[in-house]
Structure 1
Amino acid sequence: MILLLVACVLVASSAIQSATGSGFGLIAGPALILIAPWLVPAPLLILTIPMMLMVAARERGHCDTRTVGIATATMIPGIAAGLWVIQRVETASVQLLVAVLALAAGAVMLAGKSVTGSRRTLAGAGAAAGFMGALAAMPGPPLSLTYRPDDAATLRSTLSTIFLVMAAATLMALQFQIGVTGSELLAALALSPLLVCGHLLGSYLARRISLAVLSRTTTYIILAAATVLLAKSVAGLAM
């Protein structure tokens, strides 16, 4: 039963990532923490790399390299700060912080607001994405709030490329700090075919989805994932 739920989560999250450029970590992270916590963070980070590679390769002609450069330059310090916090703060408290930040970002987006994507705001979003990605595999909200191009393919390509760098950097830092076990690597490899299924489904949907629907879907995903994480963190603090 658990394996079936894991399969559904990975196919659904990879399909949404492929179609919208965001959603893999937002959906898979909180869901797997609830049903299969041994798959977070290392196996999920390993799976994130081929998932983002598939989307970035499909949309390779649309990548906004300027935004990628700005966001990834500040993402590395954010990741380092996130990993430092994880080692010193109770897990439930960390997740509560991430959930509140994600809900705030989702609420602003739901109201139709966004932050101007200047060099400074993109740099801040990159740092926040690295921080939230290291804490709970949820780097999407800061970038979704600040990066709103006019073209859906550019959005998918650019965000997937940024998330690819984030996953690789976080995994390297995790390996350096506590190590990634062979069983975690094997678990990721065994589950990787599910990503292909989701990617094919998402590629089909991407050709039939407008930018307005894409933005609205991303906002709902952020709110749903943050709500689940908030409920889990509150329950953890109450125990």
Structure 2
Amino acid sequence: MTTAEFVVAILAVAVGALAQGSIGFGFGTLAAPVLAILDEDLVPGSVLVLGFTVAAYVAWSERGALDWFGIRWALVGRVIGSIAGAYAVSRLSHNALAVVLSLIVLVAVAISVSGWHVRPSPSTLVSAGALSGVMGTLTSVGGPPMALVYQREEAAKLRSTLAGFFLFGASLGIFTLFVSGEFGGTELVGGLMLLPGLVGGLVVSRFAHRWLDHGWTRPTVLAMSAAAAVILLVDAAT
């Protein structure tokens, strides 16, 4: 990686960390595609190292607002969704599935904008966790389903709960790669090299979420969810 590419990678990680620290998700959506273009060896191992780090920081810094009840049910769905996603990858068209999942997210955003919304309950959390697991397995973008369920909750609760959820997902991903021989020192060093961008993004996010907490968190969540779905649609079409 050249010096210019390294700077771009640092900036991509910073922007992803800023989004995740501010609204609870967005690191995979914003940083992972850029890092994959710059150096394919950074994906998924090094990205998971960074994702684990940012999730651990957010979950710990706002641990008092973390919804343990919600996480338990969402993780049940996450396991189911991850298994379903792995099966789908081996059996079905990746692009077709990405289009379907993206359209589901866009419909959910449209419904939310119209005023109707779901509340975090065992059934909705398992469903959102499962959809997130499928999306995460297929595309590395699993935030929107969970974010849409928590969009009307207190901002700190949204951020910390999503962080706890992603912390499990990143841990599972790293463990799976390690067992399969796809994660080692190279992936760890790759993630550590980009930590300055992560730290910078998280520092700025502390100021950003104070502003977003004054009524702007939900609109930002909806906009970010729609953007993630559109990005997946474009990627599937090209």
Per-residue Cα deviation, 1:82-101 (whole angstroms, up to 9, x for no partner): 22323444543443343333
Q: What secondary structure is seen at the aligned counterpart in 2 of 1:113?
A: coil
Per-residue Cα deviation, 1:91-112 (whole angstroms, up to 9, x for no partner): 4344334333333333333434
1:163 to 166, 169, 192: 166
Per-residue Cα deviation, 1:121-173 (whole angstroms, up to 9, x for no partner): 11111111111111112111111222245421111111111111111112323
Contact 2:70/2:121 (8 A) holds in 1: no
Contact 2:152/2:218 (8 A) holds in 1: no
2:26 to 23, 46, 62: 23
In 1: Cα distance, 2:170 partner to 2:90 partner: 19
2:123 corresponds to 1:125: no
Contact 1:9/1:28 (8 A) holds in 2: yes
In 2: Cα distance, 1:77 partner to 1:230 partner: 24
**Gaps in structure 2 of 5+ consecutive residues:** none
2:207 corresponds to 1:189: no
Q: What secondary structure is seen at the aligned counterpart in 2 of 1:212?
A: coil
2:146 to 143, 148, 164: 143
2:221 to 218, 222, 227: 218
Letter of the 2:149 partner, please give it: T
In 1: Cα distance, 2:37 partner to 2:218 partner: 26
RMSD of aligned Cα (Å): 2.2
Superposed displacement of residue 233, structure 1: 1.2
Q: What secondary structure is seen at the aligned counterpart in 2 of 1:231?
A: helix
Q: 1:123 to 1:141 in 2, by over 3 A?
A: same
The residue aligned with 2:233 is: 230
Between 168-177 and 51-60, report the one with greater CA deviation.
168-177
Per-residue Cα deviation, 1:5-35 (whole angstroms, up to 9, x for no partner): 3222211110111111122122223444455
Per-residue Cα deviation, 1:211-231 (whole angstroms, up to 9, x for no partner): 631111121112222212211
Letter of the 2:103 partner, please give it: V
TM (norm. structure 1) is 0.87
Q: 1:182 to 1:84 in 2, by over 3 A?
A: farther
Contact 2:19/2:25 (8 A) holds in 1: yes
Letter of the 1:200 partner, please give it: V
1:34-45 matches, cutoff 5 A: 34-45=37-48
The residue aligned with 1:81 is: 84
In 1: Cα distance, 2:92 partner to 2:174 partner: 20
**Gaps in structure 1 of 5+ consecutive residues:** none
Between 120-129 and 3-12, report the one with greater CA deviation.
3-12
